[in-house]
Amino acid sequence: MGKIKNRYSSDGVLAKKHLGQHFLNRPDIAQDIADLVSNDIDIVIEIGPGTGVLTQFLYPRFQDKLYVIELDLESVDFLRQQDWAKGLNIIEGDFLEMDLSEFLGDQKVCIVGNYPYNISTQIVFKLLEESWNVVQFCGMFQKEVAERLSTGPGNKQYGITSVLLQAAFKCKYSFTVDEFAFIPPPKVKSGVIDCYRFTYLEIENYKRLKKIVKQAFSQRRKTLNNALKPILGDKSLPEKFASLRAEALSVEDFWELVNFFYFPTH
C-alpha cells in the first residue's frame, strides 16, 4: 500500500491534490502520446508538463516550436534545472486564465498533455471558444472523459462536450492507460484521444449550438420536445426530433436544430 499512497514522482516532485496532479511514470506511454503529434504544426503547447516525462519526447522533435505551460512552481523549478530541458520555452501560470491570441496569431497549433482531471473539460471549452488556430488536440484524460469526447450518438457517455468538440474536430480514442502508470495512481483508468480539426465555427454559431445542446442534455431522460420547452416558446419541434432524446442526435442533427431555431425558412 505504500506505493499507492506515495505522492512523489520518481524525481522527487510532490503531486499536489488541488492541482489534480498524477505524474506519468511510463516513458513508453509518453512516447506513444508524443508520436500522435503531427509534424505539420507551427507551435506545440503542452499543458501541465510536470516533471517532463512527455516533454522529453516532444522537445527533441519540436525544439523552439514547443511551449510548456505549468502552474506548479515546484515543477517549473525542476524543469529549469534539467540539462535535457536547456532552452525549453516554459510559461508559468494557469492555462485557463491565459489569452494567447496575440502570441499565437494564425499559426497552426497542437495542444497536447496529460491533462489534470479537475480542469480537463474546461480545457476543451477554452480551445473551442478561443480564436486560436488549434488544428490538433490530443492527450490523456480520465477514461470516462476521453470516451465522452470521442464517442458518437446512442451511447450513454455521449453528451455536451461530445457534440461541441466533434462539431469542429474528428476525434479518435487511441488507447487506455492503467492506474499504476502514474504516481500517485488515480482511482480510475485514463484514456488517450487524438482530434483533428475539420472545420472552423463562427463564434455566434458556436454559442447557438452550445445553448441548444446544453438545454437538450440538461434533462437527458426527457424527450427533446420536453427538454427544449424553455427555448421552444410557441414553436413545435420537427416531428422527427420531438420524441427523441438528446443522446440519439448526431452533430449534424443538432446543427439542424440550430437552423430551426435561428434560421427558420418560413
pLDDT reported for residue 15: 66
In a 10 Å sphere around its CB, with 0-12 CB exposed, 13-18 middle and 19+ buried, how is residue 28 labelled?
exposed
pLDDT reported for residue 4: 43
Q: Which residues are within 8 A (CB) of 109 and not within 5 positions of it... i.e. 6 or more apart?
A: 41, 42, 43, 44, 45, 132, 133, 134, 135, 136
pLDDT reported for residue 13: 74
pLDDT reported for residue 16: 74
Nine cell digits for residue 46: 503542452
Domain residue ranges of the chain, discontinuous segments joined by +: 2-197, 203-262
pLDDT reported for residue 220: 87
CATH class of 203-262: mainly alpha
Cis preceding-peptide flag for 264 (omega within 30 of 0): no
**CATH code reported for the domain at 2-197:** 3.40.50.150
Q: What is the DSSP annotation of the chain? A: -HHHH--B-TTSPBPPGGGT--EE--HHHHHHHHHHS-SS-SEEEEE--TTTTTHHHHHHHHGGGEEEEE--HHHHHHHHT-GGGTT-EEEES-GGG---HHHHTT--EEEEEE--GGGHHHHHHHHHHS---EEEEEEEEEHHHHHHHH--TTSTT--HHHHHHHTTEEEEEEEEE-GGGEESPPSS-EEEEEEEE-----HHHHHHHHHHHHHHHHTTTS-HHHHTHHHHTT----HHHHT--GGG--HHHHHHHHHHHHS---
Each residue's pLDDT, cut to its tens digit, for the chain (266 residues) gives: 334 456 766 567 776 787 777 889 999 999 999 999 999 999 999 999 999 999 999 999 999 999 999 999 999 999 999 999 999 999 999 999 999 999 999 999 999 999 988 899 999 999 999 999 999 999 999 999 999 999 999 999 999 999 999 999 999 999 999 999 988 888 999 999 999 999 999 999 999 999 999 999 998 899 999 999 999 888 889 999 999 999 999 999 999 999 999 887 65
Beta-sheet strand order (sheet of 190-197)? 89-92, 66-70, 43-47, 109-114, 134-142, 190-197, 169-177
pLDDT reported for residue 184: 86
Is the separation of the CB atoms in 264 and 211 below 8 Å? no
Is the separation of the CB atoms in 137 and 146 below 8 Å? no
At 20, the amino acid letter reads G
